[in-house]
A and B are shown apart, each in its own frame.
Chain A
Amino acid sequence: MRQLRFFLPLMSCCLLATFSATAQLPSVMLLSQDTTVRSCNAWVMASAAGQVGSNGLDMDFMRKLTLGGRISNDHIDRLSGDMSSENRAGYAGFGELTLMNFRDTLFVNPAIGLKATVGSYYHGYAGFSSNLFSTVFQGNKTSAGSTVELGPAFMMQQAWQKFGLGIFDKRTLSSVTLSLVEGQSYRSLVMNSADFYTSTFGDTLRIAPDGEYIRSDTSRSGWANGSGMGVALDLDYNLPLSDNSGFINLSIRDLGVVFWNDASEQYTVEREFSWTGFDANPWLINHDDSLVAPSPQDSLLSSRRQTTFMAPLPMTFQLRYLKQFGKGHFYEVGWNLWPNRVAKPQVFAGISHRFSDHLMLTARAFAGGYSRWGMGAEVQWMPRGKWLVRAGSNHLVGLVAGKAHGAEAFVSIGKSF
């Protein structure tokens, strides 16, 4: 009960965290020669992580955009000046509780154990052109008399919960988990093109978008009360190197789909919309007190239909190679991938030092993903082989520096019984 009192609030914190990130195998646990690590009855591990990044936006801008605050003109001008023509921004986060049963034997094989996970996951991204950014945040005055291509633009937001059951190899911690997925919410915008014209004197605005917007049933919301159901497969394959000198890790997470209910909405946007101002003639003729604006939404959303649809979960893929060199020193290289329209493949490399069987420090650098590049550090500590504490960041600077293009933090707490 005392453990429960500790872990329940911890789990709540993890689930409520809006930070996000990919999960990595605690290497100190895998490399440990301490028999107490695996000779326990079970491990319970709570993890939370979050990351946000962009190649065009900095942390200060993203913080103000999401949490509020005044974004100065200088700030916008600086970002716009540094921005490439196509830009990306994204976030990912999760809170997860994992139980690994080391005591029981499955399939007549003492090396196979039962694994259960429950967690809440969030992922979103946006791809946007510098023209779109400039038009929204700097205005259309500089483009008066010309047509600006605002597209292509993409946006996806997804939140889901997983209730998984799987098996794992007690020696290598490789695992396969099949999860029931509760889809909480989903939104997706694909804007292939959007010509935006401002006349020389600003008396006519015209936009010709071509795209599609889908969103899940908005009448249902909240944790585990969404409008989608699905399945997901998580796979971790760890191949220890000889002499316990490292390992190769292949990890695939959230390979699955969610079927969203028939109250979902799909909008096809393909009509040109021109705006020349309120029509003042009814006001002039009838002397009405109010002007009635035509609804851009009505005009733009040329078709709307309620539908059910299927959407893949935002899968993550990781390949990692960790190898010892010298006494207590390890290097690692790896590759992360979010297979979506926006994220770049992320490569990383790091150096670790194992101070003892239970304590390991890692410094790591990466490039790609949603942001540009970053550096971070990680500490893994297993006091007496019964606890696991893991905390760090692969984008440490972004946690404190507003000009950084991303930030990340992750933490895991484990306890053996």
Chain B
Amino acid sequence: MKRISMMRSAIGFAFAILCAMTFTRCSRNEPTVWDSDVMVPLATGRLTLSNVVDDSMLYADASGLWHVKFERELADFNLDTIVAIDDTTIAVGFELPISGSFNPGQFAPDIVEEIRLNLPSTQLRHVRFSRGTLEYRLISAIQGDLICEFALPGLSRNGAAELIRIETNPGTVASPFSQSGSIDLAGYELALTGPSNNDYNVVETILGIQVDPAASGPAIVLLNDVVQMELKFVEPGVEYADGYFGQHNYTLNESVELDASVNLPQGTLDLNGAVMNVNIRNAVGMDAQLHFTGLRGFDSATGNAIELDHAPLFAPLNIARAARNGSIVTAEEHQYTLNADNSNLDEFMEFLPSDLTMTADVVLNPLGDVSAGNDFIFLDDALSARVALDIPLRIGMQNLTFRDTLELTNDAVEALFNGDLSLWLKNEFPIGARCTLRLLQGGDLTTVVEGAQIDAAAPTTSVGITQVAESWIKIALTPEIIGQVNDTHQLVIDVALDTPGGGNAVGIYEHYGIDFKLVADGTYTFELGQ
């Protein structure tokens, strides 16, 4: 028995060891890792100008030559202030000169009021609101149930005049009945012509009072009891107005930031054939006189400025009022066309201004009320000065440098690769480039790629045909660089562009592009079973 017992112990021990070995050796507690020398294409594509420039700013002419177009509003003439109605409070009261008892169903005479708005420089006949609120409150000290109907005959929406009906409960002087409400004014029209229909700035109100026919008893009226309606126009916005808008003189000084939408480069740019159209459009039923006194380009990087030189633009311009037939408005327009022949436009654009500043003197209704109170304005299409630039991309560039800063994602990249990213480019543009990539970390720049050269396609004697150039750019992607990318959140890209022959002008055509392929060439660390 003892031997058997020992033998069992020995066998048990042996199997315990076997099981331990089995479980120990068969459990994966780390990934399988190895390094492999790989060449793997990562990305491919074709870069054209339309890929990088917003379609709204680019078009190709019949020959396929790209044009950059740029349109901006030069000035805001602030015409909405001319026809603005400020916040206004109107109180319509009915103080009873008698006392007594009034039976259910009995009427009091309507109270008609004409309230003139305080608009010192304009004589408005009609307005349509785009926004705002009409707040109202009825107060009654009469001891009885009343039906009060407050009409605003001039205030209508879709042709229906506004009527506010309020049923009151008994109140006292010490504790009057009060009820409030509001009306959204958007879309409402307000006639300001008064009961005579020939006035201006006048709001007509009618207050009618009746003892509620369903009341259980008479209404008791004490001497000097008051029924009052308060109206308040809160932040009314006008989208249309007519009347006489008065004569106004003011000076404009407007700036337009160009590099907000265009990443303007630094360097030498040679433009040819740029055209600028300045279009003055008057869709207001009001005469206007404009006198541009300056159009200046400003380079915020250097602080330098340049004046646009085109004499006709700076002569006083009288623009007649727009004509109107119902809701159809025929605007008056005047256009100035600037080019290299009649202005310094090429020089002005080659200056690469970051801001445009325009100064002008403006006179509205210079001849007074010649329309007999029939001025009109639709605020969404009033008086405008638009500048439209058309630049055919037949350009020369010398060290024209673009800089952009990309925000890198916060996702950490594992450093499993050690090698090069090879970028192959087949360039059809007759423009060469030198690229520099830097990582920005705490104000320190770490260079990833310095001055990598993309060769320009060689122009040929045939228009729009170039001899393509192939280039390789190698970007070292070591674990150290990947580590820095993980610690960095900004990548600064500098691209300096040159056209052949030291900046000769070349045409950029629609069919030009850069084919590119990005290849990873190095050691990749594979990890299996993580």
Contacts and interface: CB of A to CB of B under 8 A. Distances in A.
Interface string A195-212: 000100111110000000
B468 to A, nearest CB: 16
A355 B518 CA distance: 72
Contacts of B381: none
Given A201-B424, A276-B41, A68 B34 contact: no
B33 A70 contact: yes
Contacts of B315: none
Contact of B42 (A67, A138, A278, A413): A278
A19 B26 CA distance: 9
Given A13-B18, A277-B517, A140 B38 contact: yes
Interface string A45-84: 0000000000000000001111111111100100000000
B32 A64 contact: yes
A411 B40 CA distance: 49
B57 interface: no
A18 interface: yes
Given A67-B27, A203-B424, A411 B18 contact: yes
A59 to B, nearest CB: 11
Interface in B274-331: none
A71 B18 contact: no
A10 interface: yes
A137 B11 contact: no
Interface stretch (B44-52, B333-341, B369-377): B44-52
B158 interface: no
Interface string A342-384: 0000000000000000000000000000000000000000010
B13 interface: no
Contacts of B36: 136-139
Contacts of A389: 11
A280 interface: yes
Given A13-B19, A64-B32, A70-B33, A205 B43 contact: no
Given A69-B33, A139-B38, A411-B18, A203 B519 contact: yes
Interface in B104-138: none
B25 interface: yes
| Interface size grouping (class) on chain B | 35 or more
A275 interface: yes
Given A141-B521, A203-B519, A413-B11, A68 B31 contact: yes
A111 to B, nearest CB: 30
Given A276-B41, A389-B11, A202 B521 contact: yes
Interface string B427-467: 00000000000000000000000000000000000000000
B37 interface: yes
A161 to B, nearest CB: 19
A68 B40 contact: no
Given A67-B26, A201-B519, A276 B32 contact: no
B29 A6 contact: no
B39 interface: yes
Chain B CB within 10 Å, residue with most, of A18, A64, A68, A70: A68
21 contacts: A9-B15, A17-B22, A67-B27, A68-B28, A68-B30, A68-B32, A69-B30, A71-B32, A138-B37, A141-B39, A201-B422, A202-B41, A203-B41, A203-B44, A203-B517, A205-B40, A276-B41, A276-B44, A277-B517, A280-B43, A383-B3
